[in-house]
């Protein structure tokens, strides 16, 4: 295989630059994908800027890849050349630990993130293990599907994992890249859906995405009125919140589930957990089977993220747009290396 053209970051807060690398021989279980589109996720920014102290430079970000299979190793199963596929946060996992064999590959302790110590999808081509190469179902719009592979799975996975029922009332906190997809999934699931946002200007859009009700997350009296009404809250923001106030919106046995990487520790009053038998939890993206299930659900219910497109050659402009909080609601880059 020839060298791969990509966009890479060489240090925190530095602009991405054109970068070419030799991917070496294709592994027996590896798939090589020609990138059509790649979503831009907030975690790309965190990795570019080494906010999680795990970045390996030069870093080729991009972990919401959509493209076509152009090469396969000898041991690859169930895929074919030319097939449209997606790759998300993980590109590989060990395949022999309890989590991998149990189907929870996303919990594998040695899972290989697509953009840490591995080159991601802001490139003309990208590689992944065949298990983590997820076929895209017919009927899914490939130009907007990218963000489902990280942002989408992150808000979909808790609905499956915690057996959310159509009779449940779910709250989604934060109506951004993740939250707007959460509203669409929860509505299609059949639930009563409440959007919590600090930005009143997003209320009408939140209703269009599927919210039955919109509540200001900064309004203490509005939170108090919601007491004992929700079965589950999915928190997609990465800022400190009124955690005690949010916990009180849950019914007995309710769950506050965190998918936004809040850096500050969360003060959780034990008494609010004990009375009402409430839980606080978190989860990372999803397994390959959950990814495939989510894509089928999205295709069947015509769920697509609301995206803005940029050519990949304007990657730095797209990153600034995201960092400024201007993305409505998710950015997708179109590979344009030729």
> Cβ(257)–Cβ(234) under 8 Å?
yes
Nearest-5° Cα angle at 88, 86 to 94: 110
> Cβ(103)–Cβ(47) under 8 Å?
no
Min CB(230)–Zn ion separation in Å: 26
Tell which phi-psi region holds residue 62, choosing left (phi > 0), alpha (psi between -120 and 50) or beta: left
The contacts of residue 2 (CB under 8 Å, 6+ apart) are none
Residue number, 4 or 178, with CB nearest to Zn ion: 178
Decide: is 150 part of the binding site for Zn ion (CB under 5 A): yes
Residue number, 247 or 331, with CB nearest to Zn ion: 331
Q: Segment contacting Zn ion (CB under 5 A): 49-57, 86-94, 216-224, 252-260? A: 86-94
Q: Segment contacting Zn ion (CB under 5 A): 13-21, 100-108, 250-258, 317-325? A: 100-108
> Cβ(7)–Cβ(17) under 8 Å?
yes
Q: How many residues does the chain have?
A: 338
> Cβ(64)–Cβ(41) under 8 Å?
yes
How far is 207 from 213, CA to CA, in rounded Å? 7
Decide: is 97 part of the binding site for Zn ion (CB under 5 A): yes
Decide: is 100 part of the binding site for Zn ion (CB under 5 A): yes
Q: Segment contacting Zn ion (CB under 5 A): 116-124, 144-152, 207-215, 310-318? A: 144-152
> How far is Cα of residue 108 from the mean position of the Cα atoms in its chain?
17
SS3 (DSSP) at 200: helix
> How far is Cα of residue 203 from the mean position of the Cα atoms in its chain?
22
Decide: is 188 part of the binding site for Zn ion (CB under 5 A): no
Q: Segment contacting Zn ion (CB under 5 A): 113-121, 147-155, 166-174, 250-258? A: 147-155
Residue number, 93 or 217, with CB nearest to Zn ion: 93
Decide: is 65 part of the binding site for Zn ion (CB under 5 A): no
Decide: is 108 part of the binding site for Zn ion (CB under 5 A): yes
Residue number, 251 or 321, with CB nearest to Zn ion: 321
Among 4, 35, 38, 43, which residue sits at the site for Zn ion (rule: CB under 5 A)? 43
Min CB(101)–Zn ion separation in Å: 8
> Cβ(194)–Cβ(203) under 8 Å?
no
SS3 (DSSP) at 193: strand
Decide: is 93 part of the binding site for Zn ion (CB under 5 A): yes
Residue number, 148 or 215, with CB nearest to Zn ion: 148
Decide: is 160 part of the binding site for Zn ion (CB under 5 A): no
Binding residues (CB under 5 A) for Zn ion: these are: 41, 43, 93-94, 97, 100, 108, 150
């Amino acid at each position: 295989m020839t060298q791969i053209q990509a966009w890479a970051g060489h240090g925190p807060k530095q602009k991405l630059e054109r970068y070419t690398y030799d991917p070496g021989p294709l592994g027996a279980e590896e798939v090589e994908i020609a990138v059509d589109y790649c979503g831009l996720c907030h975690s790309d920014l965190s990795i570019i800027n080494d906010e999680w102290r795990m970045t390996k430079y030069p870093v080729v970000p991009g972990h919401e890849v959509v493209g076509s299979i152009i090469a396969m190793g000898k041991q690859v199963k169930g895929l074919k050349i030319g097939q449209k596929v997606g790759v998300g946060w993980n590109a590989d996992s060990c395949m022999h630990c309890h989590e991998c064999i149990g189907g929870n590959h996303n919990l594998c302790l040695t899972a290989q993130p697509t953009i840490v110590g591995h080159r991601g999808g802001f490139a003309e081509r990208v590689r992944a293990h065949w298990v983590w190469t997820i076929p895209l179902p017919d009927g899914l719009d490939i130009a907007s599907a990218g963000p489902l592979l990280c942002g989408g799975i992150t808000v979909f996975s808790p609905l499956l994992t915690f057996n959310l029922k159509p009779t449940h009332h779910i709250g989604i906190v934060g109506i951004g890249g993740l939250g707007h997809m959460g509203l669409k999934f929860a509505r299609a699931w059949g639930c009563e859906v409440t959007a919590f946002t600090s930005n009143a200007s997003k209320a009408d859009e939140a209703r269009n995405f599927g919210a039955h009700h919109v509540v200001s997350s900064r309004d203490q009296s509005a939170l108090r009125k919601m007491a004992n009404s929700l079965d589950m809250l999915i928190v997609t923001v990465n800022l400190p919140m009124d955690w005690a106030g949010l916990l009180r919106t849950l019914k007995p046995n309710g769950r506050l589930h965190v998918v936004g990487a809040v850096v500050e520790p969360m003060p959780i009053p034990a008494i609010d957990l004990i009375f009402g038998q409430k839980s606080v939890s978190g989860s990372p993206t999803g397994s390959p089977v959950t990814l495939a299930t989510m894509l089928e659900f999205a295709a069947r219910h015509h769920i697509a993220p609301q995206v803005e497109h940029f050519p990949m050659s304007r990657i730095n402009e797209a990153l600034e747009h995201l960092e400024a909080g201007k993305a409505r609601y998710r950015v997708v880059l179109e590979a344009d290396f030729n």
